[in-house]
Structures are given as structure tokens and as C-alpha cells.
Amino acid sequence: MMLKKILNPARWSILLLVLAIAIGVASCRQIISSAAAKVDRNQLVSAILSDPKTFNEALSNESPNIFGYVGSGLIAENGKGELQPALAESWVVSPDSKTVTFKLRENLKWSDGAPLTIDDVAFTFNEVYFNEEIPTDTRDILKIGKDRKLPTLKKIGADRIEFTTPEPFAPFIRTLGISILPAHKLRATVNQKDNTGKPLFLSTWGINTKPSDLVSSGMFMLESYSPGERLVFKKNPHYWSKDAQGDRQPYIDKVIWQIVESTDTALVQFRSGGLDSYGVSPDFFSLLKKEEQKGGYKIYNGGPATGTTFMSFNLNEGERDGKPLVDPIKSRWFNNVKFRQAIAYSIDRQRMINNIYRGLGAPQDSPISVPSPYYLSRKEGLPFYDYSPQKAKELFTAAGFKYNEQNKLIDDRDNPIRFTLITNSGNKIREALGTQIKQDLALIGIEVDFTPIAFSLLVDRIDSSLQWDSLLIGFTGGVEPNDGANFWSVDGGSHMFNLKPAKGK
């Protein structure tokens, strides 16, 4: 599941525990931008663990998704998190820091050859992302200030558009990396309703859409999709970017995503030459490093990544059809801050790093990742939860829990503490983390039923049924905390630990 970064540090108590952040390691047999790729017109083959859920970016909040290849925003970020022009060639900020004027590049085109204009930009924001009839998480990161107001925009001539925010808001320009959508393809679906009164847009560009019906503003366009097998992207002949010599990018003609059922399978395919790149998991690092020269590939270590693996409890106290979403007995535990803090002290993250990550990781005490300039370190006063069963037991006692004669933790009504922990199957690192969490909590008298499930089922539990106890999942972040407003804001569309009001409440 793809979820972006953090909204407000004051909300950190909602999250149970940030487990660890792995070093960003990858191995590749070729680099897209290399001269060899430019000459040979090679294709790049890599692997993903599950099918995409939609081809409609406004309705997507999960990973894997296709939008990094097929979409472009007004601005972009380079590998260092620095802003750079994309569809907009430049922008100017007003003296009061509340108005930003963007100038669009000349002669932009969609992959079908239609002009990409200021009208597409206005449509994207006014008719899609600002439209309350469209349940898009993107709207959460565009809301500004205490009152959570949206910016306004107006067209200025044929090549300029002006955004005005209700107050100065430093992250605003960075949010405009979201992809611009094609008005000539999608406007009619926003205005037309289905038989339930909802915009047809909500059922447009699903995964059953023919790739030829999709249009792209990104480097590639989707050529074909075989569910459970592969996605094939081909070069967008109208992509705007050119190199210093005036040659249109990208240099490579095709990218192929093979859909595999596990990281183990992906490793086998990479070692046999079936994949050109592979995200190296820590448990396979030593093996692949030994074979680096013989295998004809290079391993790159990019340092700490911005992604986070974390464990959370379901804090939803709502009902659906008259039935609680979470067992009321368990809900009393989960919504107790001391209970969650005690669990955090009960998990040995350093053992995870040593044994599961093979040392290629670092503990993460903050929801904001280490590479972010907004990261607060322990030395600067950040609270942390190093492994301490003694502190855990003290917190359990302070919260009204106790131990029975069998040394099992029980609550003040003598209910044994037992809950289910889920994660997506096929991800061996997460499965190993879940196994250790089960072991660590058993040492302090808690029984955990650890159950890896298919990713599609996991997403359904989180987004639809809302019926789960605890989960172990990844959080794809960036350097800007506001990029996760959909996740951290209590009314955010991906506020998974208390997602949304349920029927009957």
C-alpha cells in the first residue's frame, strides 16, 4: 500500500510503533540513462509482488502503481528531494508568499498527440482534486492551515496559471508534483452520473480499461496488461523532456513489470537473468554481493530510504450495521495509550536489524524518515522506545493490566490479552518481522495470532471492511511531512488506524 508522509507531529501518539527503516539497496544490470541503453534501445525488466488496483491516479493510494511512469506534474523532485521544473518550465512566488504563478512549457502533448494545456491543469484541480464528489486522498495534502482550506486557481492567458493559498504554506509547491489529468478524456466522466448518482469518473480507468484508451504525460505509456503476469510500458513519443543534445527522453524503449508471488521468486528470476533490476532485501545481500562480478550486475547502496515499516492497532470504535468493527474488549486495550507504549517497549527492534535486516537497517524513532531535513533526532529531544520489557510491564500495570498465575497478561476484567496481527504474504522481510513480534510479545505474556494474507485481502481489510486488530505494513514517504496528510490527519482518506466514521455511529 502506497501512503505518503506525515501531517502533524502532534498526532504521533496515534501510531503504535515505527519498527525499522531498511537501507535502500538495489542491484541492476543496466541503467536507463546510460549511454549503452541509449544506443541499444534496450528494455528494462523488473518485478512487482501484486497487480495494480487502478489506472486512475486520483483514486489510487497504493503501491505498486503505474503513475511514476505515465504521469507528470507541474514540478518534480530529483533524487535529493530538490524541486525542479516538469510540465511547468518556471514559477514565481508573490512577495506575500500566498500566490504562485506557473508558466507551462510550450507545445506539450499527451501521448495520443492531443495538446496538453492550461485547461488540463485547471480541470485537474478544480474539477477532480477539489471536487467533493470524488473521494481522492490527494485532496488531503492540498488542504492548508488550521481550517484545512483549499487553494484557488485561475488561468492567466494561454500558458500561465495562478494558485492562491489562504495563508503562506511552505509545502504547497511540492504538492504540485501530482499528475495533471487529461480533460479531453475525463471531463465528461466527471460531469456524467451513474445510476446511483455518483460521477462516472469513479468507475473510469479501472484495471479492466484497455491500455490503448489510456493517455499519458509521463515518460512511458501502458502498452499491455496481463493480470497476474505482467505490465508492459512503451516509450511515450510525446514526452516533453530532452537531453542536452536535444534528444527526446527516455532513452529506453520499454519497461516490463513481471508480477511474481514472492520476493524469493523475484530473486530466482534475477539470478537467472530474467530480471534486469532487483530491490535487494537484506537477507539476500551477502549472497548477491558475492556473485556481483560473476553475475554481471552492480549493487547500489543509497543509504536510509524514506519508506517505513510499522505496526499499528485498529483504533476504530465505530459500528457497521449495528456491530462493532473491533471487538469492544480489544478496542479498550488498543485505545489505551499506555498499552500501545508498552507494546513498543516490548519489541526488540535491534534484534530485528541484526537478524532480519542483517545489519542493513536503522531504528526509526520518528514517523519522519532520517533523510528528511525535518527529521528530529534523539539528541534533539525525540522520544524513543528502545527494547525494555521492564518498562513495558510498568506501563501495563499503570494502565490497569496484571498477570495471572500462568504469567499471562490479562486486563482488569480478567480477559487474556490476545489479538491478531496481519501483513501481506510473499514479503519475506515482513513475515520475519511478524514472527519476531509474536515471539517478543509472548515473552511478556501476550499471545499474537500472526497471519500473513494476500495483499488484495489486506487492502480490503484496511479500506473496506475495516475489521482487523493490528497490522504490519509499509509506508512510502518523502522528505516533506505534509505529503502524508492523507495518512496522519484524523479526517484523512488513508487514516488507516481510525479510517472513517462507520455506519451506525
pLDDT tens figures, 90-145? 999 999 999 999 999 999 999 999 999 999 999 999 999 999 999 998 898 899 98
Q: Measure the CA–CA gap between 481 and 484, rounded to whole angstroms.
A: 6
Q: Measure the CA–CA gap between 277 and 238, rounded to whole angstroms.
A: 26
Q: How confident is the model at residue 27 (pLDDT cuts 50, 70, 90)?
A: low
pLDDT tens figures, 466-502? 889 999 988 766 777 777 666 676 666 666 677 664 3
C-alpha distances (whole Å) from 214 to each of 207, 218, 254, 327, 477 are 11, 12, 17, 44, 27
C-alpha distances (whole Å) from 224 to each of 230, 351, 370 are 8, 43, 38
Decide if domain 26-55+61-68+201-284 falls under CATH 3.40.190.10: yes
Q: Would you say 483 and 10 are in contact if contact means Cβ atoms under 8 Å apart? A: no
Q: Would you say 216 and 71 are in contact if contact means Cβ atoms under 8 Å apart? A: yes
DSSP 8-class letter at 353: I
Report, in angstroms and rounded to the nearest whole number, the Rg of the chain calculated over CA atoms: 24
Give pLDDT, residue 22.
39
Please determine whether the domains at 9-22+306-498 and 69-200 fall in the same fold group of CATH. no
Q: Measure the CA–CA gap between 475 and 22, rounded to whole angstroms.
A: 12
Q: How confident is the model at residue 464 (pLDDT cuts 50, 70, 90)?
A: confident
C-alpha distances (whole Å) from 312 to each of 16, 196, 335 are 5, 35, 11
DSSP 8-class letter at 87: S
Q: How confident is the model at residue 387 (pLDDT cuts 50, 70, 90)?
A: very high
Give pLDDT, residue 500.
63
Q: Measure the CA–CA gap between 497 and 207, rounded to whole angstroms.
A: 27
CATH of domain 9-22+306-498: 3.10.105.10
pLDDT tens figures, 238-254? 999 988 888 889 999 99
Region 13-24: what's the mean pLDDT? 40
Collect all residues with Cβ–Cβ distance below 8 Å to 305 and sequence separation of at least 6: 21, 22, 23, 24, 369, 371
Give pLDDT, residue 428.
86
Q: Measure the CA–CA gap between 420 and 348, rounded to whole angstroms.
A: 19
pLDDT tens figures, 200-214? 999 999 999 999 999
| Region of poorest pLDDT, from 6-20, 344-358, 395-409, 424-438 | 6-20
Domain ranges across the chain: 9-22+306-498, 26-55+61-68+201-284, 69-200
Asked whether the predicted pLDDT for residue 394 surpasses 50, the reply is yes
Fold classified for 69-200: Dipeptide-binding Protein; domain 1 (3.90.76)
